[in-house]
Amino acid sequence: MTEQPPLQPPQPSQPPAPSGDESEHTTPLWYGQTQAQPQYQAYPPASAQSPAEPHPTAPLQPGVEPAQPARTRRWIELVAVAVLAALLASAGTYALTRGDGGGVTATLGRTDVSSPPPVVQANPAAPNWAVTAAVVSPSVVAITVASGQGGGQGSGVIFDTRGDIVTNNHVVTGGGQDSKLTVTLNDKRTFDATVVGTDPSSDLAVIKLANAPTDLKAIALGDANALRVGDPVMAVGNPLGLAGTVTTGIVSALNRPVTTSAQTSPDQFGQQPAGDPVVTNAVQTSAAINPGNSGGALVNGGGQLVGINSAIAQLGGAGVSSSQSGNIGIGFAIPVNEARGVANQLITTGKARHAFLGVSSKDDFVPQGSAKRAAAVITAVASGAPADKAGLKVGDAIIAVDGDPVDGALSLVAQVREHTPGDKVTLKILNGGQTRDITVTLTDRPATNP
């Protein structure tokens, strides 16, 4: 290799010149259905290995350098700026990773504030997925569930540094009662885990590592409300037992109401009790998702979690052979904002509270000017419920919640369920061709109301 001549400090008389630029009907399918599990080869938990070398006990704070002579420091700063500018101009082929791990140091659950992105992409529209995958993969785990009644595999996301893992309820309950949970980290260390809490209504659960190591890397939390249709995203998980698999795609749709039956643990006789329907205001993605991706991460180019992968669509309906199940380019994820709220509640109290509006509705079309539009038309209002107190009446058509369109009864349920008790929401009502806004304060959902 030819030795390059040493760099010379820029001359004061010649400052650098500034630069400037610039089908068919589909139905959701849960990954964790126990009857489908025998089709997939069991994923054996990886044997424990020695932990990776610990990080230095007293690292420098991000951006802090050792003291240097003033002139030398100034020269280094100028060179660093020039190099960074050149890299950022290289058509999106470089991503600057944060040295502080994205600032994720939560120890008691997580706040409702998004974490800084651990990856800064040169071109967010064309991310360097290799860098994002390297940063995110250590925060995604493979989960194995085993018991005498069945078993299965799934994925999970490291929620905090105490060992709390967020996953899907149907992953945790897929093996029935007395299941044994094992969690395999990205570096192949395997740990036993116990259930902290489950929430069948949202299909979310939290499990906790036994003897959690001190070097866990919690995932950076993003904001699903900031997503736009067409944004690039990446799914990370354990499809078909292939741990650490990453696939990429785009956000295909937002606020997509998806419903399935909630899964609960089989009883002592192996019978599956009927559960409340799971209704999710989902993020739809084209990123390839397959059985085993359940509970895994959907992240943006910056490496922030924007959803928990939970369901896929299949052609035809429930009668289609499970051997034909798999990715057809339509996957669904629970928005991170909902997942974060439920996870914090499960960690704190072991159970989750859900919002309640207090109406029954049906799908219908209502006149609006010279056209019609789909809406959730109220058929009943519970006495004393938030809707009743706000003045909603039978026949009112709800067409939006906080500006997000509502095109039917399922859409309304999904919009309400992504909120928490105490939230104030603005409903746009259409009746007699006239629209009006009504503010409603949601309360706790009664136990008798799904």
Which tens digit of pLDDT belongs to each residue from 11-33?
Answer: 444 444 444 443 333 344 444 44
Q: How would residue 325 be classed by pLDDT, with cut points 50, 70 and 90?
A: low
Q: How would residue 317 be classed by pLDDT, with cut points 50, 70 and 90?
A: low
> Range with the lowest mean pLDDT among 207-211, 260-264, 307-311, 342-346?
260-264
Q: Does 296 have pLDDT greater than 90?
A: yes
φ/ψ (deg, to 5) at 331: -120, 160
Q: What is the pLDDT of residue 278?
A: 85
What positions carry a catalytic annotation?
A: 170, 203, 294
> Range with the lowest mean pLDDT among 248-262, 293-307, 349-363?
248-262
Q: Does 393 have pLDDT greater than 80?
A: yes
> Range with the lowest mean pLDDT among 94-103, 310-319, 365-374?
94-103
* Cβ atoms within 10 Å, residue 279: 25
Q: Side chain identity at 344, as an amino acid letter?
A: N
Cα-Cα-Cα-Cα dihedral of 289, 292, 294, 295, to 10°? -120
Q: Does 65 have pLDDT greater than 70?
A: no
Handedness of CA 361, 367, 368, 371 (dihedral sign): positive
Q: How would residue 147 be classed by pLDDT, with cut points 50, 70 and 90?
A: confident
Q: How would residue 124 be classed by pLDDT, with cut points 50, 70 and 90?
A: very high
Q: What is the pLDDT of residue 391?
A: 94
φ/ψ (deg, to 5) at 21: -140, -165
**Can you tell me the distance from the alpha carbon of 333 to that of 343, in angstroms, rounded to the nearest whole number?**
15
Task: In the chain, count H helices and then E strands.
Answer: 6, 24
Q: Does 108 have pLDDT greater than 70?
A: no
- For the entire predicted model, the pTM comes to 0.73
Q: What is the pLDDT of residue 314?
A: 77
Contact 266, 176 (CB under 8 A): yes
Which are the contacts of 73, defined by CB distance < 8 A and separation ≥ 6? 65
For the record, the structure tokens of 43 come out as 């994923």
Give all domains of the chain, ordered by start, each with its CATH number.
70-104+115-126 (no CATH), 222-260+277-334 (2.40.10.10), 355-444 (2.30.42.10)
Contact 18, 218 (CB under 8 A): no
Q: What is the pLDDT of residue 37?
A: 33
3-state secondary structure of 253: strand
Angle 181-186-191 from CA coordinates, rounded to 5° = 30
Alpha helices in 252-359 (DSSP H): 336-349
Q: Which residue's entry shows tokens 């939290």? A: 206
Q: What is the pLDDT of residue 112?
A: 55
